[in-house]
Structure 1
Amino acid sequence: MLSWARNSAVYRLERQMMTEKQLFDAITRKARQKFEDISQQQLKAVAEFAVKFAYDLNALNDADYAQLSTQSAVRSGKSKRAIAQRLSAKGIDRETAAVALEETDDLFAAVVFARKRAFGPFRRGELNDKRKAKELSAFARNGFGFEIGRKVFEMSSEQAESVLRKDAFT
């Protein structure tokens, strides 16, 4: 069982970066399927062994996962709030998530979001009350505060491009 756990951990971590919780859950789920008469204690022991093995190989690092995931999410237009929720769902603790989110720029992410959705300075059509409400509520639904949403909404296209030219992590 332990050699299966070790091989399974290597296989999973070769394919994608995972958090400790994700690896633990994946090994537990697969062990339950593979070994029919396995007890809860054995499941936990096998999963803990796989996680320890991954740490010993330096293949598992929640801080690095949080940092890379945060950078990717900001570049794709996700707010700090949305990123924090996603990291929490992946099993990253609050302190690690806070460190990863320290240097993010919600304004940059909001401008990226606006560009993706053709809002604010990237709007192609005319602005009416319905469109204005739609755009501002989309910012709020995606975790951006009212002030940031309004700021991006009122930007000129030159201001928005200038924000995009800046690096999100400086």
Structure 2
Amino acid sequence: MNPDEPRAIPAPGQDADRDGGKTARPITPASLERAALAYLERYGASTEMLRRVLLRRAEARCRLRGEAPEDFAAMVEAVVARAGRAGLVDDASFADAKVRSLRRRGGSARAIQAKLAAKGVDRDTVRAALAAHAGEGQEGPEEDEEAAARAYARRRRLGPWRRSQDRVEARQRDIAALARAGFAPALARRIVDEEDEPAP
């Protein structure tokens, strides 16, 4: 086989790891490390996200080879631990980057906590990232939440960012949209009821 030739894409249900009819390659620490590096080159990830990716990869290989996935759990944990020691995964840095990004887009503290919890970041790490972000400049947590609510309303064109003739009719819907996004009802009402579109 010419090494410069692109490999054929396997048909659905066909093992991508098969080569000329051979069975899927065995799971090894080296293969899991390669998978971890390939994933981390493309995505920022928490420790738990990396663990889930590697476990799914191991499970897929095990199905093809007729092996038990639990036999490789310790191998996955060892690779995840090495990635952590090497600084390739760091939940505090991951949480900090996500908080910055989500706050800029108008994410409420509640929504951010839920998103990061789903990615396996523990509550204390998320709280610390939110507190660190609120401590930038002279803003405190309340001001930071208000700035995020304003950013969300601006992005969704709610309240003062809505056409003036539509505002009264849409008021309750706009308040409900902010509340669903995780903002306190009192804050949602204050943002929606502002007289004019605030200066950026």
TM-score normalised according to structure 1 size: 0.87
Partner Cα separation in structure 2 for residue 67 and residue 97 of structure 1: 8
Q: What is the aligned-residue RMSD (CA, Å)?
A: 1.6
Shift of 1:21: 0.8
Structural mapping, 1:18-97, within 5 Å: 18-35=45-62, 36-97=65-126
| Aligned equivalents of 1:129, 1:115: Cα separation in 2 | 17
Deviations 1:53-102 (A, max 9, x none): 21122110000000100110010111110000001100010100110111
Letter in 2 for 1:87: L
56 and 128 in structure 1: CA distance in 2 versus 1, 3 angstrom threshold: closer
Q: How many residue pairs get matched?
A: 161
| Correspondence for 1:167 | none
Question: Residues of 2 paired with 1:31 and 1:155: CA distance?
Answer: 54
The Cα shift of 1:10 comes to: 0.8
Tell me how far apart the structure 1 counterparts of residues 128 and 183 of structure 2 sit (CA, whole Å): 19
Letter in 2 for 1:121: P
In structure 2, the partner of 1:135 is 174
Flag structure 2 segments of 5+ consecutive residues without an equivalent.
Answer: 1-27, 135-140
Q: Is the CA contact (8 Å cut-off) linking 1:5 and 1:49 kept in structure 2?
A: no
**CA separation in 1, counterparts of 2:75 and 2:169?**
56
Shift of 1:154: 2.1
The structure carrying a bigger helix percent of its residues is: 1
Q: Assess if the C-alpha contact under 8 Å between 1:110 and 1:144 holds in 2.
A: yes
Structure 1 unaligned blocks of 5 or more: 165-170
1:135-160: CA deviation from partner (whole Å, max 9, x where unpaired): 111111110001111121122436x2
Maintained 8 Å contact 2:159/2:167: no
Identity of aligned residues (%): 29
Q: Residues 6 and 53 of structure 1 are in contact (CA less than 8 Å); yes or no, is this contact kept in structure 2?
A: no
Q: Work out whether 1:119 is the aligned partner of 2:158.
A: yes
Secondary structure of the structure 2 residue equivalent to 1:157:
coil
Spell out structure 1 runs of 4+ moving beyond 6 A.
Answer: none
CA-CA distance at 1:44 after TM superposition: 1.1
